[in-house]
Amino acid sequence: MRPQVNDAYWRFAAQRHRIFEDRLRGILGPWSRDEILGTFKFCNAYRALDRVSQYLIREVIYGENARELSAEDTFMRIVLFRLFSKEATWEEIETVSGGLKCSSLDIGLLGDALAKLQSRQPIYTSAFILAAPSGFGYAAKHRNHLALVSQMFKMGGLGSALGKASSLEEVYEALVAYPMIGPFLGYQIAIDLNYSDRLDFDENEFTVPGPGALRGIAKVFSDPGSSNSQELIMRMVERQEEEFERLDLDFGGLLGRPLKAIDCQNLFCEIDKYSREAFPELKSNRSRIKSRFVVSGPLLPLHLPPKWGLNLEEVRQREEFGAQFLDDHPELSPVVASL
């Protein structure tokens, strides 16, 4: 283990989460004295808090018509959304389909609509790269993805397999059995599916490191010994309380929810990025952080899966109190921002 990088992993987790909490409460920036965190864009310590995951939970899974959806409808919506991971693309799909369900999945109609949208703006996220699929014979990537989802949700297909799954790993295996769904994407979609109330598996029972996480693991662990990457991720899950205490870091988790395997996996990816500035001597095939941090506006109200049982009403009351307090005492805003 490299002690400096290991310590940076935990400090990053604590500081990045504090930044999120401060922004959620309406506290004005700057939110960190760490120049790297203040300059570059990083994901949240908790995957569910990132903007796209929040949109997925709020609009795709638990939107206003969620009660009208069958389990298979919910699964299909999640898979299709994650293939694009773009809010504007999803809103076009919802508009054209009249509210996406398995019964309204018309891949020709949606393919034409997305082709028009693509002539004006990107329809895929730039957060991660999907291979350009051609397994269904279309020249356009989005038409192949639509055809893939149509195949997945034929009678007796993925929806049936998910209904029979007895573990998060079985959900993952059902996904990667399909073309164009590799290990990284399969794991991400499995976690997305598990946000719904149709599945309820422990996120700590299974994990798959992505390419960025593998780079981060190599920077934290100079010699992993006999442990594989999955075991090293679980080591971080198990040691988190001890490490935060050792470093005297104030980390209360997400309303008391500790970091799960998906979060520790993502944090390895983020510490890989952070290390490019903090520990440039640790070489990898990535040498710089591409995205700089730009405030795009206040955070939307927090949405989390209801089955997690977290007290969001308490959060909303704190947000309202904090915003009202600063409205009543504008002279204190610079003081609060400097804390």
* Structure confidence at residue 135 (pLDDT): 72
Average pLDDT over residues 164-177: 98
Residue entry with tokens 């409205």: 327
Residue 338 resides in a domain: no
**Statement: residue 339 has pLDDT above 70:** no
Exposed / middle / buried, residue 338 (Cβ in 10 Å: 0-12, 13-18, 19+) = exposed
Structure tokens at 5: 């990088």
Residue 182 in domain: yes
pLDDT score recorded for residue 334: 43
Which pLDDT score is estimated for 35?
92
Query: How confident is the model over 34-44, as a mean pLDDT?
Result: 93
Residue type, 131: A
Whether residue 211 lies inside any domain: the answer is no
Of 237, 318, 282, 303, the closest CA to residue 45 belongs to 237
CA distance 115 to 143: 9
105 residue type, one letter: L
Q: Range of 67's domain?
A: 51-205
**CA–CA gap between residue 171 and residue 104 (Å, rounded):** 24
Instruction: Report pTM.
Output: 0.89
At 24, list the tokens. Answer: 């959620």
pLDDT (average), residues 318-330: 49
The residue ranking higher by pLDDT, 86 or 314, is 86
Amino acid at 236: M
- Cβ atoms 245, 28 nearer than 8 A: no
Supply 325's token pair: 């307090």
For the chain, give the percent of residues with pLDDT over 70.
Answer: 88
Condensed to tens digits (0 to 9), the pLDDT of residues 262-286 reads: 999 999 999 999 999 999 999 877 7
Q: Which of 132, 133, 72 is nearest to 104 (CA)?
A: 72
pLDDT at site 268: 98
- pLDDT value, residue 283: 80
Residue 8 CB neighbours (<10 A): 20
Within a domain: residue 116? yes
Residue 30: asked if its preceding bond is cis (omega within 30°), the reply is yes
Q: Is residue 30 part of a domain?
A: no
Query: 37 in a domain, yes or no?
Result: no
**CA–CA separation, 152 and 196 (whole Å):** 18
Give the count of domains, the chain.
Answer: 1
- The pLDDT value recorded for residue 144 is 94
Question: What pLDDT was estimated at residue 12?
Answer: 98
Tens-digit pLDDT profile for residues 197-233: 999 999 999 999 999 999 999 999 999 888 999 999 9
| Best CA proximity match to 24, nearest among 298, 335, 328 | 298
User: pLDDT higher for 301 or 194?
Assistant: 194
Amino acid 259: pLDDT:
98
Residue 71 within a domain: yes
User: Is position 133 within any domain?
Assistant: yes
